[in-house]
Amino acid sequence: MDNKHDILTLLRSVAEGATSPEEALLNLKEVPFEDLDYAKIDYHRSIRQGASEVIYGEGKTPEQIKGIVTAMGERGCRNILVTRIGQEAADILCGAVPAEYHPLPKLAVAFPEEREHRGSIVVATGGTSDMPVAEEAALTAETLGNNVTRLYDVGVAGLHRLLSNLDPIMSARCIVAVAGMEGALASVIGGLADCPVIAVPTSVGYGASFGGLSALLSMLNSCASGCSVVNIDNGFGAGYLASMINQMEGL
């Protein structure tokens, strides 16, 4: 109900007598989400944006996840992303509704439905160990209808591996750079590419990586223009934003 047009429409309906003030107030309060007691499902965004719905699985019981997904499916939602969902919860979910599970990034897509893939997003990683986070980003972007090119293990300590892949980098509309340890990948890609670069620090590493802090700070300090950063290990956030940018309409 936070949209000017919705408010105007509702007010006009009141002005025309079609809606009583009390109903309007009620309306204002009950439309946009469904209350499952333990969660308030928001159908607002999907209607407005035509996007997939997303459920953050961590901290929710398998039963809660199943409940939310089922309620969404009944409302007609498709390609529902469930992130950070363990094998056990995924088994319960896949037993209850049609769903695909990707164990590496611990991500499920419920009520999957083919959709057109458009544009061009690159997801690059510094090392092999960054793949779970990168796959969360890549699968998120693919589920949201984007073409994704994966460039894994192209860290800056072996620069030629990255330089040998300049083609996709130079032609991407958005790049997700995933790296732990020193996180220099984002800076180097940011200096090469002409498009927005979304940096994802990962908690991969040991010692003075301090759970991703080193990569996070490094990426925030990147001297390359056009870079921005999401939370440590937040592959979903990067994939979602990359999709937004890739699917921008022209001016």
Near its own copies in 100-159, by CB under 8 A: 118-119, 126-129, 131, 152-159
72 binds its own copies (CB under 8 A): no
67 binds its own copies (CB under 8 A): no
69 binds its own copies (CB under 8 A): no
Name the one range near its own copies by CB under 8 A: 69-77, 85-93, 106-114, 241-249.
241-249
Judged by beta carbon, residue 98 or residue 248, the one nearer its own copies is 248
Burial (Cβ within 10 Å: 0-12, 13-18, ≥19) of residue 169:
buried
In whole angstroms, what is the distance from residue 137 CA to residue 134 CA? 5
Name the one range near its own copies by CB under 8 A: 69-77, 90-98, 105-113, 176-184.
176-184
Least distance to its own copies from the beta carbon of 158, Å?
A: 5
175 binds its own copies (CB under 8 A): no
Judged by beta carbon, residue 98 or residue 194, the one nearer its own copies is 194
Name the one range near its own copies by CB under 8 A: 71-79, 94-102, 105-113, 165-173.
165-173
In whole angstroms, what is the distance from residue 92 CA to residue 66 CA? 7
Judged by beta carbon, residue 9 or residue 74, the one nearer its own copies is 9
Strands (E) located in the chain = 33-35, 40-42, 54-56, 80-83, 99-102, 107-110, 118-125, 146-151, 174-179, 197-201, 227-229
198 binds its own copies (CB under 8 A): yes
205 binds its own copies (CB under 8 A): yes
Judged by beta carbon, residue 110 or residue 151, the one nearer its own copies is 151
